Amino acid sequence: MPAWGTCLVIAIVAELVYFTLTTRQFAGHGTGMLDLTEQFAPTGVLALGLAMVILTGNIDLSCGANASLAAVIAGTVLSKGGDPVLAIVAAIAVSTLFGLFNGFIVAFIGIDSLLVTLATQFIVTSIATSVAGASPPFGFPSAFQLIGQGSVNDVPIALLIFLVIALLVIVGVGYTSLGRSLTLIGYNPRAALYSGIAIRGSLTAVFTLCGAMSGVAGVLLAAYYNSAQPDIGTDLLLPAITAVILGGVDIFGGRGLMGEVVLAVFLLGFLSQGMLIEGDSSLSITMITGLVLIGALVIKVVFERNFRERMTARMQSLQTLRPFRPPQGISEDADG
């Protein structure tokens, strides 16, 4: 079986070809596909932040809610007449703080990240709903909307932002001390401790980064939809996790390439957009996404297990009890 990244690329090409041939509006005038990326760029950013957390063997269930909160804050600042830059900074600052909170509890108090982020997700959702108030903000200045809807030479700005972040994450995880530490922590936390890796600091950092990326995702969402509903980001959690797992990141940590996560984002993104254009509802898209996740994993696991079983079978056959054989040349017991 070829490398996972290659499989993803093949799948992307296959689906692009399929959709272009079957649905007229998909390719548009050649640039239609690019426009579609605006829709899933926020999910992509979220997936990248989440991927770094999962790389360490943890998880962040609150990142979707965090994105919602960021969107709401940005929207609120804008609707009060604030500068778009201020809105963006405020949004990302708040979501980063919540990321830091998550990181602190996981790294320093030592509670399992599943439980912590389960709880923070609830808390952040409440705060977002509360801040949004009875009528959530909408109708933002066009300068702000450009982030989510504008393009530069037919390339959507949202896509550019996603690609820039993707590049930073790929390079960061692959080529910085922090990135190295994250992968090593994911592979073997004890060996990482004995190697002198700053586990607490790294974990706090990665959750904080995830919080920051949730903030960026939230800003993109608010800009794209031109409104800030308090649940705008919560729906993104599922597709984001799916993209991370589909991208080959091991849920237990360690294994996984950020580049392949980016590929998975495109794979899933175009899949859902193509189906939308075809006329499928958003919930059946969720269903197909779930099926793709399960299907891909089953294939991966079954194949790996087949390989592993063949190896263990070979090992075992070398270790079974054999009939008595006289030893070669060694004399009886030495004198006692």
What is the nearest approach in angstroms of other proteins to the Cβ of residue 193? 6
What is the nearest approach in angstroms of other proteins to the Cβ of residue 108? 12
282-291 long-range contacts (CB < 8 A, ≥24 apart) are 286/238, 289/238, 289/239, 289/242, 290/242
What is the nearest approach in angstroms of other proteins to the Cβ of residue 192? 8
What is the nearest approach in angstroms of other proteins to the Cβ of residue 184? 6
When the beta carbons of 72 and 147 are compared against other proteins, the nearer one is 72
When the beta carbons of 223 and 245 are compared against other proteins, the nearer one is 245
When the beta carbons of 2 and 109 are compared against other proteins, the nearer one is 109
Is residue 211 within 8 A of residue 91, CB to CB? The reply is: no
When the beta carbons of 81 and 335 are compared against other proteins, the nearer one is 335
Residue 78 neighbours by CB distance under 10 Å: 26
What is the nearest approach in angstroms of other proteins to the Cβ of residue 28? 27
Which residue in this structure is represented by tokens 């589909």?
A: 246
When the beta carbons of 158 and 240 are compared against other proteins, the nearer one is 240
When the beta carbons of 142 and 176 are compared against other proteins, the nearer one is 176
What is the nearest approach in angstroms of other proteins to the Cβ of residue 259? 15
